[in-house]
Amino acid sequence: MKLRICHLYPRELNIYADRGNIAVFRRRSAWRGIDCEVSEAGLGDSIDPDAHDLFYLGGGQDRDQALVAPDLVATKGDALHRAAGSGAVVLAVCGGYQLAGHCYTASDGSTLAGIGLLDVDTVAGADRLIGDLALEVELDGESRRVVGYENHAGRTRLGPGARPLGRVIAGAGNDGESGFEGARRDRVVGTYLHGPLLPKNPWLADRLISWALRRRTGRDPELEPLLDDLEAKARQVAVGRAGRRSG
């Protein structure tokens, strides 16, 4: 088996150690004897929706998002819609999450158009939502606690075509009010969790790998269990910090 990943804008959208998520995909695949092929697509590069089974869009500073947004719409938006429509996985984190939605409105009223992969809109708030964040997430009928770090001014609201990634246990989440974090549509996942996200959440990493391989092979893969004791300890530390923050 081969896991085919396309890392979108790795130079511009990598402010929160997002390459760590790619490293997790590579390593957890290699430990199972699965070849992991990672391609990069930057400014001006078109993408083939059939050439990859998982697309990754990370976070960046405001100036980088402003640079990337028109290129994302013009050169990659349609292909990502076609890929997602045929079962490909899209993971969009922080700024990437905002650009995967319809629009981001900054504090000065200026707007960045997104690609509408997720039915969400984001408006900048007066202050930033910062700190450890813990969620209860259910995927494919299985529930787990997922943790990470949030640092965003955006207040993201979900439309009827999206559902939350998870319920906030501790932290702010999408807007600090709704009690939800992230958004999902089919195998498209958007979230504010970074730091990076996947090293502390191997269950989520494996779920995304499984979805991507399912698209490639047409069947549910049997992923060999891995020893994740260290990752579990890191997750528990993050849960404890998030709980103290909320308390």
Q: Which residues are catalytic?
A: 94, 194
Q: 103: which strand partners?
A: 113, 121
- Beta strand 188-191 pairing with 183-185: antiparallel
